[in-house]
Every structure is written in structure tokens, then in C-alpha cells.
Amino acid sequence: MRYAYFPGCSYHGTGKEYELSTHAVAKKLGMELVTIPDWSCCGATASHGKSHLLNIALPSRNLGIAEGMGIGEVTTGCAACYQQLANANKKMIENEDLRNKVNSITGKPYKGTLKVKSIVEAIGIVDPETIKSQVVKPLTGLKVACYYGCLLVRPPEITGFDDPENPMFIDNIMKLAGAEVLDWAHKTECCGASLGVSNLDVAVRMIDRILAAAVESDADCIAVACPFCHLNLDWHQKSVNRKLGKSYDIPVFYFTELLGLSMGISPDELGFKTHFTDTKKVLSVVG
Amino acid sequence: MAKRIGLFICWCGSNIGGVVDVPRVVEETKNYPGVAFATDYKYMCSEPGQNLIISKVKEHNLDRVVVASCTPMLHEPTFRKAIARAGLNPYMFDMANIREQCSWVHSNDKEAATQKAIALVKRALAKVSQVEPLFESSIPITKKALVVGAGIAGIQVALDIADSGHEVILLERESTIGGNMVKLDKTFPTMDCSACISTPKMVQAAQHPNITIMTYAELVDVQGYIGNFEITIKQKARYVDHTICTGCGLCTEKCPTKVLSSFELGMGKRKAIYIEFPQAVPNKPVIDPDNCRYLKNGKCGICKKLCPVGAVDFEQKDELIEEKVGAIVIATGYDLIKWEEIYGEYGYGRFKDVITGLQFERLVNASGPTNGLIQRPSDGKEPKTVVFIKCVGSRDEAKAKEYCSRACCMYTAKHAHQVIEKIEGGHAYIFYMDVRTPGKAYDEFYRRTVDEGAQYIRGRVSKIYQSGDKLVVMGADTLLGSAVHIEADLVVLATAMVPTEGSEKIAQLAGVNIDKDGFFIEAHPKLRPVETMTGGVFLAGACQGPKDIPDTVSQASGAAAKVAALLSNEEMATDPMICHIDEKMCSGCLVCKEVCPYKAISEKTITERIAGQPVERMVASVNTGLCQGCGNCTVACRAGAANLKGYTNLQLLSEVDALCR
């Protein structure tokens, strides 16, 4: 399967582990990710508050370029990028006036022929047997709380691939990797996203709720699918501990890192070293 | 003889007159060929309006009449009767609809509306120039009614019809009559015990000499028409011969198989041979073939061995029973919406302590699975904090139904009252959008519940999750503008009422339309609320729309009155506007028979003389009792031999000519 791949701005910063592990896993699964040439900002977080038109135009420029690649499907790891691309794609397909207007702005005309998939969906629809055949070090005994965040499966009119209230795609992938997945309550609660940067006092309370629920469900680690979720749950764990007097120490992984681990890819290659929480605990469980 | 048409144009106050220039319509049409008299009047349907028509018919020796006013649905019968009183055949008449199809929809363009009204009047004049007198015939009426569904609606209908002296078949697909009402604990606002007021009615129905109760039976076919329905009922095999069973209960006691009881809404158990509840009517068991060990794999048979009268009969088969009735009342009631398939935020049914209002009724009911002790399903503990969520599935355009289910505000107030009354230290929180209490003594009841301490929170619940042995309810208080988290022991959902499963099939069989939500459509939402557009088929209760018990019972008595009126006649007049086959033109191809939805056309052999020799040939023949005048055959007939009286090909073409001129 070939995809036009949109890396997103966190790909060599906060989300570096996601980028590394996504490519490593994709290679194992025979998925070809072709980076969209001259890709640009997806418009997440800021643009929809400034201008709706800008919010459609930014991702549409990338869709326009991707359409020219002749691949037909676009994928991206970041939940915010995915949301932006999928939303613009739906609006551009449905609204001809908007399409003409945006195309005249971006200069990269988009006809509306693409499908946009999150990397979660792209991996989740791979034949389970194909995934299983690559799993050489099953994550037996590892209890994973799969966390989807607020954007990946919502709103269902735009995302649509998984249940918006009790999503299962990451859970199913983790099960194929041999892990034990947990039925826990906070799969789709908001992590605070950019409030982790702009208003930490609010964000730590939101992060605290998610971490508390994961710990209560007896999770060894949390699996995420968004650089912002990872930043908040991983890096800001110490902020929660400091500001709210807690003592969380739970590793947070991109689901692709855990899948990669089960496929025998080395932890270093997957980016285990650049976490803020201690990842060794998980490695010791898996062995 | 020259035709003498009378033309009467109505203002309908300002309904027509405010848009259409009525005097100009009179001016423009009064010289149409054949018009002998034309005038306008404020309200043609009123007594003086009708008298105007009658006097002008006599004064000007008119032989046919056109009234331009509202839809014929409303007043065609009125005007037909008026001209009959004037001595004309009532079918020497046509109506031009210049209200619904003109003034109401073109109120922003008066000139165009006036032009359209002129055209519509000319169309009617063209039609009426071609009409001929038609005569009604009569058909006998079978003086017996079928009531489909034996909840409180069906029981009330059956009792009222039976009391008026007519026979009734009361049909129920479950093994007992009683429906949903017998499952309830108390009824608002008077707090009567539901079973105490409904089970006596069940017994009354069972003992009434005019009522035949058929339980565990379904309607499978309906043929015929008003006054003369031929129905087929499938009596499902009970595997117990009710003619000899004494209802001693030994079999149910000894049956080794326990399954979840649907009567207890999955919160209690019953045996594979069972009586739904102690006051069931009939109070005799049936065997559930999906769970009976003997019927599944031939082993067990304990009930058969123990039965002192030998009533258990594993060889019993489903049976088809044919009956004739003159009227059908649909009273199929409601189910609760399958919220588990829709509301992931409430856990998709994964949390045992999130239940429906009807399940709460069983929990609080003295004859329910907990003997009336409020014990939550997960661990049997008495809940202290109970959260009620209203409008689950109702008034939710995004996920479920747009409509209000009407009874939930009141029964939730009742449940909250019961929590406060029955549980020591019990708290009731109610999430609501609006509190709707239109009914006698309803708002008083709600106020009392609030005064007792029930906490009403205006807002929706976004999520419920399990945390230890508590359910955390996350919601919004939109009056305070803040988020609310409540740690609850039990959550009760006021789920939407939806038409009962299978009602679509009943609609199909009875030829009644259903709305977008599956509720049966009444003939007129205000003026004919218990009738349907199909003659002889009536509605009662929640199958027509969500209702509480008082409204259901009122509607049931209303439907029964309609049936009693119908069945009080020996025979009824038939609509003469039915198909007529011109045998001279009919080639006997019988394409018309194929397209007739009422099975009204059959073949018939006629003998003709051709060149002096008798020749036999086949032609189509119409059963005047069955034909409903739909016109399918007239379209299908290639020769034009089939013609609808009152809407003949010639009449329709002259109308088209008039409109296109």
C-alpha cells in the first residue's frame, strides 16, 4: 500500500519518536510512505480561530500537491494534522464554491480526489495476519491503556473510521502486538493540547485526570497517537507532579513504538531514548 | 340538453380572499361555456353558504356545480351533501382547490395566485361539464372487530367495543395480555399501583362474553376491505394444551432451565416453561422453544412427565386461523429505543448499573425481581445516589429521535420521588433539558418532587464511566455555567419511546402508512386522530405516537366508539368512484389484474355473437366491493377499456385541455 505522507511540524521535534517508529513499522508492513514534496503547515491550533478560509486553505495546499503525486491516499501520524487534512478534504469535496476560492488562494489546485487516513487507520486496516506475521517479540503481559485523545475520532462526520465514544483501532493493533489492552474510561478525554504550552495550570488538571484513570486501570504504560498528547502526558507528567503534588511515573509511547518493539525493532531505532518518562520499566516487562 | 353549471367561489375569509382577487376570478370564469350562474361568498362551507348553493341550484335550474375553495379532503363531502339536498346527484360536482394549492402557497405573489385560481376554476368547469350521475351501492358489514395488541390500549378498545354489543378478537403476540402497563410500579400523578388498576381490566377482558383473547398469536395476513376483512392469525405453538391445562404451576417449578426474563427486562429469570407473571391472562404456561432442553435436543421432558393432566404436548405446531372482521384496531404500543446501540457516552450498556426507566419500574415494583427493594444490578447494594438522565434518544436530532416522548418527565419525577421516599439518605439528581408537565395535576406532582429534595440540573450528560464501584457522571449545569461531576451508585435513563418491533409489518398488512419514525399515521392529526386513511382501520395508544396512560386510554375509547358506530350498521354505502370495464373494448389481457393492489379484478367469460355465431371470450371483471378506485388498472389498460368512474379518461383529458388552453 502506498500513501502520500504528511509529516507535520513536530516530525523532527517533539514528535521525533513518532516519525521514527512510524517509518520503521511501515517498512515492516510493506507500506510505502512517500513524503509530500514542499509540504507546509497544516494550520492546526491557531488558524481556525483566525479565519475559516485560512483554516481550509493551509491544508488544501498540501492536498493539492499530494493529488499531483497520483497516489490517491494521504496519511499522517499527528492527530491534529489528520483532523485538519480530513476536515479540509471533506469541505473541499462538498463545496464547489469554496474549492474554487481556496484553489485560487493556494495556487495548488485541488480537485477533491483524495482520501485522508490517519496512520492509526492506515495500520488498523492492514490484514491482521500480515501484522501478526511481523510480531516476533509479542508484548506479553504488558498492560496498555490506549489513548486516542479528542481529535483522532471526532467529529465522526469527518473522521468516521472508529467509534467516537469507545474507539478500538489502537486497542486492536496493540492486541495484535501481544499486549493486554485495558477497558478504561479516558480514551477520548482532552489532554489540554496547546494549553500545555499556553496555560499550564489548566492543562495539568486535565492531564492529571487522564493519568489517574490510566493508573487506576492498572496500566503499565499509555499508548498515544498524537505528538501533542504525547508532549502533555509524557513531558508534563513532572509538571503535574510538581503542581498538584502527585507522583506519576508512567511511560507514554506512540502506539507505533510499541508495535515496532513487538516486531523486533531496536528501542533506539524507535526513539525510546528521547522520552521524559522512564521507558526502561516497559522494556523490562517485555524482556 | 344544454348543461347548466353553477359556479361558487369562496373567500375563506382572508385565507383565499387576502391573496386571490376573488371577484376577478368570478369575472374571468362566468362566461365559460355552460356556466349558468356564478357568484362568490365569504364562507361557502357555512350554513348560509350551503343554503346559497341550494337556493341558486333551484332558482337557476342548475344541473351541476363547481365550488372553488379548499381541498376536497376537507369539504367535498359537505358540498356533495348540499347539492344532494338541492335535488341533484351528489356526483354532478367538482371542486377547485384554490386555498392549499393556491393562496396558501403563493401568498407572496397575488397576481400569479389570481391567474392560477382562474386556471384551476376553468379546469373544474371542464371536468364538471363531463360528469355523469353516479350511484352508491351497499355492502354488508361483518359485526366483529379485531384488536391487534393487548396492552392497556388494546384492552380498553376491546372492552368498549364488547360493551357496545359487538364481538372482538383481542390479539396479543406475547403469552399474556397486559403490555407494558403491568410492568410499571406506580402511576403518576396519583401513585395508584399500576398492576392493581390494570390487572382487573385484564380479567374483565378475559371474562367478557363478547371478547375472544388470542395470546401467543400474530396477525399474518389481511385481505378485504372496510366491513369485510378476511384475516389470518398464526397461533404459535405453546407446547401446552390450554384446553386441559389447569395452571397448577408444577411444570414451571420443576423445569431445570433458567433464562433471563424479558418481562423483567433482563433483571430477573424465568424457566423455559413459564408464565410471565403471577397475574398473567391466560394464567397458563407456554414453552420457549429456543431454551427448552427437550425441544432443542430431545432430552429432559420433566414437565411432560410431571403434568398431572397431560397438557404438555411437544408435538404441537403453529396453526393458521382464519377469521372475518368488519373493523381492525391497531394498538401495538411502544418499545424503548435501543440506547445501547447509540449512546457510547453512557457506556453502550457495558455498565450494569446504567438502566432504563422501565427497568427501574421493575426494581421498585413489589412483584419485581427484588421484591420492591431498590437494589442495583451489579452487586445488589442499595444505591444512595441515583442520577436520572432525561431525553435519552428523544429530542436528539444528532443521534436518535427528534420528538419528545411525553411521559418521561413525569415518570422521572415519580422515580426521583421514590428514591427519596424509599432509600434512607437517598439523593436523586435529574439532568434535564426542559421539564414538561402538561396534564391534570402533573405540574403539582413535579413541584412536590422538587420540594422533597430532588435536584434538577439543566444540562446534558457528556459521559458516564466506572470508577471503582461508583459511576462517575460528567455533565453540564447550563444554569450555573459549570461542569458537574456526580459519583452515582445507579444511573437511570429516560429512553425514547419508539414503535414496537414489527409494527412496520402490521402497517403493511393493514395498508396503513407510518411516519418517518415508524409511528402509524392518523387520518387527520386534529380532527380524525383515531382513524387511518384506510377505511375500517383505526389506531389506539402509543403506536400512533408516544403517550402516557391517560391519553392512551382516552384514545382507545375514542377508537372503540368509531368501531362501534361502524359495526352498528347492517350495511354500508360504497364509493361509486371505482373502476368500470368496457367489455366491448377489453381484450382479456388481464394486465389490470396484475397491477390491482386490492385483488379486485378477476377474469370472466362472456359470450358474444359474431357473424351470427356465439363466441366465448375472456374479459376482466371488477369486484365492486374490493375496488378502492386507485386507478392503477386504467393506466395499465392498453385499450382504454378500464375507466375510473368520476375520473374517466375523457374527464381527465378535458381538464388538461382546460389548463393548457
Residue B345 with chain A: CB contacts under 8 Å: 165
Tally C-beta pairs within 8 A across A and B.
18
Spatial contact of B571 and B140, defined as CB atoms under 8 Å apart: yes
Under the banding of pLDDT at 50, 70 and 90, the label for residue B649 is very high
Instruction: Please give the residue that has the higher pLDDT: either B598 or A61.
Output: A61
Give yes or no: residues B21 and B92 share one domain: yes
Position B556 scores a pLDDT of 98
Give yes or no: residues A140 and A273 share one domain: yes
Task: Using CB atoms, pick whichever of A166, A186, A216 lies closest to residue B348.
Answer: A166
Cβ pair A166:B465 closer than 8 A: no
| Of the residues A120, A150, A168, the one at which a domain ends | A120
Give yes or no: residues B345 and B205 share one domain: no
Cβ pair B467:A216 closer than 8 A: yes
Give yes or no: residues A185 and A150 share one domain: yes
| Of the residues B498, B531, B561, the one at which a domain ends | B498
In a domain, B652, yes or no: no
Contacts of B656 (CB under 8 A, 6+ apart): none
Residue B350 with chain A: CB contacts under 8 Å: 183
Identify the residue whose cell numbers are 407572496: B108
The CATH number of whichever domain residue A26 belongs to comes to 1.20.1050.140
Q: What is the percent of chain B where pLDDT is above 70?
A: 100
Position B1 scores a pLDDT of 65
Residue B400 with chain A: CB contacts under 8 Å: none
Buried b (16+ CB within 10 A) or exposed e, B77-116: ebbbebbeebebbbbbbbbbbbbeebbbebeeeeeebbbb
The CATH number of whichever domain residue B633 belongs to comes to 3.30.70.3270
Could you report the per-residue pLDDT of B319-370, keeping only the tens digit for each? Answer: 999 999 999 999 999 999 999 999 999 999 999 999 999 999 999 999 999 9
Task: Using CB atoms, pick whichever of B343, B348, B467 lies closest to residue A185.
Answer: B467
> How far off is chain A from B344, nearest CA to CA, in Å?
5
Among chain A residues, the shortest Cα distance to B346 is held by: A165
Give yes or no: residues B116 and B147 share one domain: no
Position B597 scores a pLDDT of 79
Give yes or no: residues A94 and A221 share one domain: no
Q: How far is residue A66's CA from residue A59's CA, in Å, rounded to a whole number?
A: 11
> How far off is chain A from B392, nearest CA to CA, in Å?
16
Cβ pair A216:B344 closer than 8 A: no
> How far off is chain A from B342, nearest CA to CA, in Å?
10
Of B414, B478, B482, which is closest to residue B452 (Cα–Cα)?
Answer: B414
Q: What are the C-alpha distances in Å from B529 to residues A257, B259, B551?
A: 65, 41, 12
Give yes or no: residues A78 and A140 share one domain: no
In a domain, B621, yes or no: yes
Q: What is the percent of chain B where pLDDT is above 90?
A: 93
Residue A164 with chain B: CB contacts under 8 Å: 344
Cβ atoms < 10 Å from Cβ of B330 = 29
The CATH number of whichever domain residue B87 belongs to comes to 3.40.50
Among chain A residues, the shortest Cα distance to B462 is held by: A165
Alpha-helical (H) ranges within chain A are: 16-29, 47-50, 52-68, 79-94, 96-106, 119-124, 128-134, 169-176, 195-198, 200-216, 227-230, 237-244, 255-262, 267-270, 280-286
| Of the residues A79, A95, A120, the one at which a domain ends | A120
Query: Could you tell me how many residues make up chain A?
Result: 287
Cβ pair A185:B465 closer than 8 A: yes
> How far off is chain B from A130, nearest CA to CA, in Å?
31
Residue B606 phi/psi, 5-degree rounding, is -120, 160
In a domain, B469, yes or no: yes
Task: Using CB atoms, pick whichever of A164, A186, A216 lies closest to residue B344.
Answer: A164
Peptide bond into B278 cis (omega under 30): no
Cβ pair B344:A166 closer than 8 A: yes
Q: Which of A150, A157, A163, A166 to mutate to test the interface with B (most CBs of B within 10 A)?
A: A166
Give yes or no: residues B324 and B308 share one domain: no
Spatial contact of B352 and B378, defined as CB atoms under 8 Å apart: yes
Helix/strand/coil percentages in chain B, nearest 5 = 30, 25, 45
Give yes or no: residues B376 and B432 share one domain: yes
Structural domain that includes position A46: 2-120
Instruction: Please give the residue that has the higher pLDDT: either B612 or A74.
Output: A74
> How far off is chain A from B360, nearest CA to CA, in Å?
25
The single-letter DSSP state of residue B520 is B
Q: Which helix (H) or strand (E) holds B497?
A: strand B497-499
Structural domain that includes position B222: 138-236+318-333+500-570
Position A134 scores a pLDDT of 96
Taking only the tens of pLDDT, chain A with its 287 residues reads 899 999 999 988 889 999 999 999 999 999 999 999 999 999 987 888 889 999 999 999 999 999 999 999 999 999 999 999 999 999 999 999 999 999 999 999 999 999 999 999 999 999 999 999 999 999 999 999 999 999 999 999 999 999 999 999 999 999 999 999 999 989 999 999 889 889 999 999 999 999 999 999 999 999 999 999 999 999 999 999 999 999 999 999 999 999 999 999 999 999 998 899 988 888 887 76
| Of the residues A89, A120, A151, the one at which a domain ends | A120
- How many structural domains are present in chain A? 2
Position B137 scores a pLDDT of 83
Under the banding of pLDDT at 50, 70 and 90, the label for residue B447 is very high
Task: Using CB atoms, pick whichever of A165, A183, A216 lies closest to residue B344.
Answer: A165
Give yes or no: residues A67 and A138 share one domain: no
Q: How far is residue B320's CA from residue B145's CA, in Å, rounded to a whole number?
A: 18
Under the banding of pLDDT at 50, 70 and 90, the label for residue B574 is confident
Chain A segment 209-248 residues within 8 A of B by beta carbon are 213, 216
Chain B residues within 8 angstroms (CB to CB) of chain A: 343-345, 348, 350, 463, 465-467, 472
Give yes or no: residues B511 and B485 share one domain: no
In a domain, B383, yes or no: yes
Q: How many CA atoms lie within 13 A of B232 on its CB side?
A: 9
Give yes or no: residues A32 and A148 share one domain: no
Cβ pair A186:B350 closer than 8 A: no
Give yes or no: residues B345 and B488 share one domain: yes
Residue B348 with chain A: CB contacts under 8 Å: 165-166
Q: Report the SS3 class of residue B601.
A: strand
Position B575 scores a pLDDT of 84
Cβ pair B466:A185 closer than 8 A: yes
Q: What are the residues facing A116 on neighbouring strands? A: A74
Give yes or no: residues A215 and A253 share one domain: yes
| Of the residues B101, B130, B159, the one at which a domain ends | B130
Give yes or no: residues A261 and A151 share one domain: yes
Give yes or no: residues A136 and A272 share one domain: yes
Among chain A residues, the shortest Cα distance to B465 is held by: A185
pTM for the model stands at 0.83
Among chain B residues, the shortest Cα distance to A186 is held by: B465
Cβ pair B466:A163 closer than 8 A: no
Residue B146 phi/psi, 5-degree rounding, is -110, 130
Q: Which of B342, B351, B467 to mutate to test the interface with A (most CBs of A within 10 A)?
A: B467
Cβ pair A183:B345 closer than 8 A: no
Average pLDDT, chain B: 95
Give yes or no: residues A132 and A111 share one domain: no
Give yes or no: residues B489 and B504 share one domain: no
> How far off is chain A from B166, nearest CA to CA, in Å?
55
The CATH number of whichever domain residue B529 belongs to comes to 3.50.50.60
> How far off is chain A from B428, nearest CA to CA, in Å?
24
CA B190 to chain CA centroid, Å, is 28
- ipTM value for the complex: 0.85
Spatial contact of B229 and B223, defined as CB atoms under 8 Å apart: yes
Cβ pair A185:B350 closer than 8 A: no
A185/B contact by beta carbon, under 8 A:
yes
Cβ pair B344:A163 closer than 8 A: yes
Average pLDDT estimate for B220-238: 94
Give yes or no: residues B167 and B231 share one domain: yes
- How many structural domains are present in chain B? 5
Greatest Cα pair distance, chain A, in angstroms, is: 57
Could you report the per-residue pLDDT of B145-173, keeping only the tens digit for each? Answer: 999 999 999 999 999 999 999 999 999 99
Give yes or no: residues B555 and B524 share one domain: yes
Give yes or no: residues A158 and A280 share one domain: yes
Give yes or no: residues B547 and B468 share one domain: no
Instruction: Give strand ranges (E) for B272-372.
Output: 273-274, 286-287, 319-325, 327-330, 334-336, 354-356
Of B568, B586, B510, which is closest to residue B171 (Cα–Cα)?
Answer: B510
CA A34 to chain CA centroid, Å, is 18
Give yes or no: residues A139 and A91 share one domain: no
Amino acid at B486: I
Position A282 scores a pLDDT of 83
Chain A segment 107-166 residues within 8 A of B by beta carbon are 163-166
In a domain, B20, yes or no: yes
CA B167 to chain CA centroid, Å, is 21
In a domain, B115, yes or no: yes
Residue A95: Cβ-neighbour burial (10 angstroms; 0-12, 13-18, 19+): middle
Give yes or no: residues B480 and B346 share one domain: yes
The CATH number of whichever domain residue A173 belongs to comes to 3.40.50.11810
Q: Report the SS3 class of residue B370.
A: coil
